[in-house]
Every structure is written in C-alpha cells, then in structure tokens.
C-alpha cells in the first residue's frame, strides 16, 4: 500500500515539518512566558497586604479640644487630618484633582495601561526608573500599603493592589479614601484639613482658583507650597486650571478669571497658641488615661470648661501687667544678637512668628537696621520702625539700646494690610506672671495662663509652681477663728510681741513697721496686719490652722511653725484659687476640673465629668469671711479693686523681699488668682507688693470676664451681736488690760 505522502513533493513535506516545529517552539515559548508571568505574579503578591484590611481602615485623625461654647482651642495629631465624606469635597475640587492627576479615573479599572507604557518608554529612553504613570487608585495603594521607593518591584505591587481596590470599592469610595489620605504639606493630610489650614474654611466653600491650587499639591507638597514658594504654586495652579479647561470642566471665561486671581491665603491660627498651658494639661491627662496613640491618632473629641473669650482676656491682662512692671524698673538691655551667632538676617525666623500676629500681642522682633534716632524691625511678614519718642521710657538714646541683629520685645499696636506695623518697645527680663480663673458654680477652669511665653518655657506656673503665698494665707487663720465662734468685730491688740519657738524668740513686725493698738478682726485682715494674724494663729494653734487649710484643698505639706500664718508656706496658684472659691460658695468647695466630656472617633462617650462637691466650712463662717474679704477691697490693701462696677472680695499677698506678689479674689460667680514673680527666688524690687504687681492684672481680667454678664451679689452674713465682742489676744479667764498704742 502506498504512503499518503508518496505523491507529494519533498519541498512541500519539508515546509510542513518546518511550520510544525515553529508552532511547537512558539507554544513552548508561550508556556514559558505564562510560567514566568505566573512566577512573577506569585513573587510579587506573596507579601501584598490583604485588601480586606482596607474595609476596616480608618486614617489617623486629629484629636480636637473644644471650649465650653464648642470652639476649638487645641488639637493633637501625628498627621493633621480632618476625615471628610465624598460629598464634603465639592465638584470643583474633584474635577480639578481628576483633571491633573488621573483623567480616566472614572473609566479605568485601577491602572492606565497606555500611561504605564508611555512612562516606561520615556524612562527606559532616559535610563530612569518607572515613574509618572500612577492613577489615583495606584497612589492610594502606595500611600496606604507600600513604600515610596520607585522600583519596578513596587510598581508591579502597586498596580496589583490598585486592581484589587477597584474590585472591592466604588469610585466615590476610592476618591474619598485618597482625598483623606494624601499629604498636602506643612503637616497637613487630606483636602479638608488642607482647606482649613490654607484658607480657614471647609472644602465645600472652595473657589475654583483655591481648589486648583490644592489639587496641584499632591505632585510635590514642598515644591509647590503656597507659603514657601508662591510663584511655583501659582504656576502649578494655572496648569491645573488649563487641564480642567481641556477636559471641558470649566469655561474659557472661568479659566481666565481663575488664572488671573491673586494667590490669597488665610492661614489658620494654631489653636494651641491661645491657651497652650491649658492644652498641655489636657494632653498630660489624656495620655496618662488613654495612651499616646489614642490621643494623637484616635480622633477624640474633648470638651472642656475653658472659655475662649476669658482666655484671651487673661492672656492680655498678664502680658500687659508684666510689661507695666518691666517699664517701672527701667531698661536692662542684654539683648540677644543673631549677628554674633553668625546667622544671616534674611534667614532668621523666631518661633513667635509661626503664629499669626494680632494687635495687642507681644512678639520678639529682629532689628534689621539701626541708626541715630530710628530702628527698623521685622517680625513675620511685618515691618515696623521705632523712633526716639517710642523709647522715652528707657531713658536712653535709641542708638545706645538697639543695634542691627538684636532680638527685641515689642507690643503690636496696629497691623497694616501692606505689611507695615506700629509697635512699642517693651522688655522681657525674665519676669513671669500666672493667672487662673474658676467658675464658682461648676468648678470649671475658665482661663489659665501658666507663664509669659509657652515657646520659651513649658513650665506651668499656675499648676506646677510652689510659691510662698504671703498674706494671702491669712484668710485660713481668720476662718479658723471665726469658725470657732469669733466675730469680725472682736478686737485684738496690734503691738510689739515676741513668741518663744524651739529655735529661740521670734519677734515679727508689720509691713509698715507701725502698730495700731486695739483693732477689730475685720480691720486687721483688711489692713493685712501681721501681729494680729500671728496672735490668732498662736491662740488657736498653728496645727489647727494647717488642718483648716487642708480642708480647703491645700495639699502641700505645711510645717507646724508660726510663720506659716504669714504665708511662708509654698502653695500652687491652682490650689490657692480653688480654696478661695469656698467663700462665695457658702462653704462648699467644688473640685477644679478641665474636662466635661470625652468622645471617641464614632461619637461614643468615653468619660463624662460632673462637679465633685466637698463641704469645707459652714454657711455662717463662709459669709462672714466673704464680708471680711470684701472689706479688704473696700477699705484695705486691695482698695484699687473697689472701682470695679460689681462687688468683689479678695486678699493681697506679698512675701519677704518682694519675691512673690499675689492677689486672689472673687465675685459671686468667678474666683481668680494672679501671681507675679521670677522663676528663681529673686526680688521684684522695693514696694512691688501684691497690690501693685498682681492686683492690676486681676482687675483687668475680671473687668473683661464679667463684661455683659450678671456678676451676682454676695449673700449678707448673719446678724452679729456686737455687745458680746471679745478681746481675742487676752488669755482665757484673765482680766483684760487697758492697752493702747
């Protein structure tokens, strides 16, 4: 039988064999490619994160602190982010971002093949790495799960993750994740936070030119920063506008108007700068209770007792009061000079300049030029000039006190739109002031100033500093006596006296080195006479007085020595102020509190703080003491406060050698304490008493704090039977003597 191929030509048979071999080779090559691809996919996907994790993903967000009216007063964050929904991002922002970053976002399935091929070709041609072809979804995958390196390995993983993300989520969900995650410069993450930071408004209110500027930032937040590189930011913004025009998202007229719009920023104030010492107290408490991660990444909402308006008044009162003290004591000089440190003038920036300048504020300014009769200054984006008339209080020529490169301290009197400012020369020689105000009804801390400059010193002199309280301790002595049955009209002999102590005789004196003879307890407290206070403490026992102070909330360990009655004890301003609130509260002390409520990211209440009340003294004693402390204001050492248009009471305090000046006082609704001094035990100077250094600050604050509010009235003390008044320094059962001056 003949073969089927016998009649075919040899050439045709050979050709068919060749085709078969080629096909076989192609099949082998295809199998190899498929195997290699499968191997590569296996290699690149073995360490990919599970996309299911994205369903439960919650970005790190800001923990915000609110005052008692819901105004933001501070925040904590590792990444300053405000999480927003898809509808919170206006169409103009969505269009701008898609036009410049990923034109086919709503059409592709995670990757744009032709962009990748084009970018790869360009990079191979230039010898670079694969880059510049990422879709929004690929950028999201990289930001969430991958490293920022530009290797081929990472690019493949990025594409694979992007495909998985597109399979699991809708386009609005992907856009929302991206818009909340992306870094946009200056510590800001996400477009909602960026809108609030750069323009001080929510993203929903962005104009076309503003939206275009923000949309241009993802490519290079540092390179296109509108703060550091405004020219680059404008060019990038206009590129975004052109891309929107090409895509038909805006009209030519809209594009022209937006391109010609000036770059106008309204940078948000750092909320922490208003009450930094208060915010720091909150941070320490929250981190101790919930942990640093929860506080800085968990997006907590912390509602506090602070009042923004009162805090502003407190800041101003302390700064103005300390500045007035500085002026009373003349120019001391010793200014830092950056030229001595080799720092170029044009590159210098002071921490004060990080916050937006405000009229009435105090900042450190750089002297950029100085000559006979004039000096020019710079602070932030403002410039100012000082003439000889502006430094008259120093008693010196301007050329003798300021030179180029000096860092001086000034008060801002006015700010012009063109960057010109008017300032007055002040001095920062290290004097400190602190203020703390408490709502009598709730115990809530309404204002807290822990020092002159938080940037310079984080030490909180309102809550952490133990300072001698001087005569502001005397009310505990009088409370002890009144609570044991005495009346304000009982008398005592103000005369030279000597007490026997374990260390020898103790012979105190009064501040004015004079003696008034027989006086009432009311006058003795009002005039802050030392001898009567010591006699009373000696009569009831200094340990008894210390026990009463402890009932008022004084936790410092007080030695049982008689000079404690005159205020040698060291107490914090917080405890001293809280203790005084017992008097207008009819003998009840409400524990001071900062926080009223804390909620988590989802709005669930984590803690809620209610006023904690403790009985200290009876209503009778409290009202009598209030009337006696009212006498301090009406006729005593605090008489300057009598001009306030509402009833107040309180007590001055001055320590030996004028190292500490105090005034702690109250209205019917508010108790406030003020301290002035140096951090080291250093004299404030002769005659710098509590009435002179601290009381004016207290009055300025209380005037502002009570403005427009009902200050209330003090309840009258119970009627006293004057005929039974007694002479309290007479020994029990001993005949009274007829002594006078």
What span, in angstroms and rounded, lies between the C-alpha atoms of 274 and 313?
Answer: 11
Give me the torsion for CA of 393, 396, 400, 402, rounded to 10°: 0
Catalytic residue among 273, 471, 528, 627: 471
What span, in angstroms and rounded, lies between the C-alpha atoms of 585 and 577?
Answer: 13
What span, in angstroms and rounded, lies between the C-alpha atoms of 622 and 583?
Answer: 5
Cα 258 to Cα 191, 238, 740, distances in angstroms:
19, 8, 88
Strands 188-189 and 80-81: parallel
Beta bridge partners of 412: 423
Cβ burial of 708 (10 Å; 0-12, 13-18, 19+) is exposed
- CB count within 10 Å of CB 53 equals 10
* H or E element that contains 410: strand 406-415
6 CB-near residues (< 8 Å, 6+ apart): none
Beta strand residue intervals within 203-248, DSSP E: none
724 CB-near residues (< 8 Å, 6+ apart): 487
What span, in angstroms and rounded, lies between the C-alpha atoms of 499 and 510?
Answer: 15
Q: Tell me the three state secondary structure of residue 511.
A: coil
Instruction: Say whether 723 is catalytic.
Output: no
Cα 666 to Cα 413, 669, 702, distances in angstroms:
31, 7, 9
- Taking alpha carbons only, the member of 266, 265, 277, 267 closest to residue 73 is 277
What b/e string do you get for 347-380 counting C-beta neighbours within 10 Å, with b at 16 or more?
ebebebbebbbeeebbbbbbbbebeeeebbbbbb
Beta strand residue intervals within 44-96, DSSP E: 63-66, 72-76, 80-81
Catalytic residue among 64, 101, 158, 280: 101
What span, in angstroms and rounded, lies between the C-alpha atoms of 144 and 182?
Answer: 9
Instruction: Say whether 471 is catalytic.
Output: yes
What is the length of the chain? Answer: 741
Cα 362 to Cα 98, 409, 410, 693, distances in angstroms:
45, 7, 6, 19
Residues marked as catalytic: 101, 471
């Amino acid at each position: 039988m003949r073969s089927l191929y016998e009649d075919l030509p040899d050439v045709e048979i050979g050709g068919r064999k060749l085709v078969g071999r080629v096909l076989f080779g192609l099949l082998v090559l295809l199998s190899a490619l498929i195997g290699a691809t499968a191997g590569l996919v296996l290699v690149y996907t073995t360490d990919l994160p599970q996309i299911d994790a994205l369903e439960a993903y919650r970005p790190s967000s800001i923990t915000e602190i609110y005052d008692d009216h819901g105004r933001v007063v501070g925040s904590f964050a590792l990444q300053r982010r405000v999480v927003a929904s898809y509808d919170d991002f206006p169409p103009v922002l969505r269009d701008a971002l898609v036009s410049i970053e990923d034109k086919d976002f709503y059409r592709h399935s995670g990757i744009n093949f032709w962009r990748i091929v084009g970018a790869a070709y360009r990079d191979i041609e230039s010898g670079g790495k694969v880059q510049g072809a990422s879709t929004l979804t690929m950028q999201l995958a990289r930001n969430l799960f991958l490293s920022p390196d530009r290797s081929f390995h990472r690019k493949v993983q990025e594409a694979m993750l992007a495909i998985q993300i597109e399979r699991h989520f809708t386009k609005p969900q992907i856009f929302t994740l991206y818009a909340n995650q992306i870094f946009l410069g200056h510590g800001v993450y996400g477009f909602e936070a960026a809108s609030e930071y750069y323009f001080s408004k929510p993203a929903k209110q962005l104009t076309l030119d503003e939206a275009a500027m923000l949309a241009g930032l993802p490519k290079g937040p540092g390179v296109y920063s509108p703060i550091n590189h405004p020219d680059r930011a404008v060019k990038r913004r206009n590129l975004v506008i052109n891309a929107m025009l090409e895509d038909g998202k805006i009209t030519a007229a809209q594009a022209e108007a937006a391109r010609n719009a000036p770059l106008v920023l309204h940078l948000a104030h750092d909320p922490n700068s208003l009450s930094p010492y208060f915010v720091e107290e909150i941070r320490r408490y929250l981190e101790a209770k919930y942990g640093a991660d929860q506080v800085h990444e968990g997006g907590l909402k912390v509602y506090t007792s602070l009042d923004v308006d009162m805090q502003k008044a407190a800041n101003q009162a302390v700064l103005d009061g300390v500045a007035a003290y500085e002026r009373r004591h003349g120019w001391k000089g010793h200014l830092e000079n950056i030229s001595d440190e080799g720092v170029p003038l044009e590159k210098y920036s002071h921490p004060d300049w990080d916050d937006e300048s405000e009229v009435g504020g105090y900042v450190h300014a750089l002297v950029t030029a100085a000559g006979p009769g004039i000096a020019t200054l710079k602070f932030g984006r403002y410039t100012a000039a000082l003439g000889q008339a502006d430094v008259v209080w120093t008693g010196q020529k301007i050329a003798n006190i300021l030179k180029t490169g000096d860092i001086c301290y000034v008060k801002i009197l006015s700010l012009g739109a063109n960057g010109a400012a008017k300032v007055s020369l002040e001095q920062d020689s290290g004097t400190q002031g602190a203020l703390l105000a408490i709502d009598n009804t709730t115990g809530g801390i309404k204002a807290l100033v822990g020092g002159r400059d938080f940037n310079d010193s984080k030490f909180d002199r309102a809550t952490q500093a133990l300072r001698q309280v001087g005569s502001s301790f005397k009310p505990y002595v009088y409370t002890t006596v009144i609570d044991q049955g005495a009346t304000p009209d009982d008398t005592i002999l103000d005369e030279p006296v000597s007490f026997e102590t374990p260390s020898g005789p103790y012979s105190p004196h009064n501040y004015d080195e004079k003696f008034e003879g027989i006086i009432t307890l009311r006058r003795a407290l009002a005039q802050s006479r030392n001898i009567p206070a010591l006699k009373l403490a000696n009569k009831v026992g200094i340990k008894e007085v210390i026990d009463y102070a402890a009932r008022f909330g004084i936790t410092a360990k007080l030695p049982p020595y008689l000079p404690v009655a005159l205020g040698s004890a060291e107490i914090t301003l917080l405890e001293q102020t809280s203790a005084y609130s017992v008097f207008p509260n009819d003998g009840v002390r409400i524990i001071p509190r900062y926080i009223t409520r804390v909620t988590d990211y989802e709005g669930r209440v984590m803690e809620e703080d209610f006023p904690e009340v403790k009985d200290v003294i009876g209503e009778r004693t409290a009202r009598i003491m209030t009337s006696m402390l009212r006498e301090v204001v009406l006729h005593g050492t605090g008489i300057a406060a009598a001009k306030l248009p509402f009833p107040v009471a309180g007590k001055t305090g001055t320590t030996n050698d004028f190292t500490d000046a105090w005034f702690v006082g109250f209205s019917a609704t508010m108790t406030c304490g003020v301290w002035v001094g140096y951090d080291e035990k250093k004299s404030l100077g002769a005659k710098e008493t509590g009435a002179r250094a601290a009381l004016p600050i207290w009055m300025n604050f209380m005037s502002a704090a009570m403005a427009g509010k009902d200050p209330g009235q003090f309840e009258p003390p119970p009627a006293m039977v004057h005929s039974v008044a007694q002479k309290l320094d007479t020994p029990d059962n001993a005949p009274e003597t007829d002594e006078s001056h």
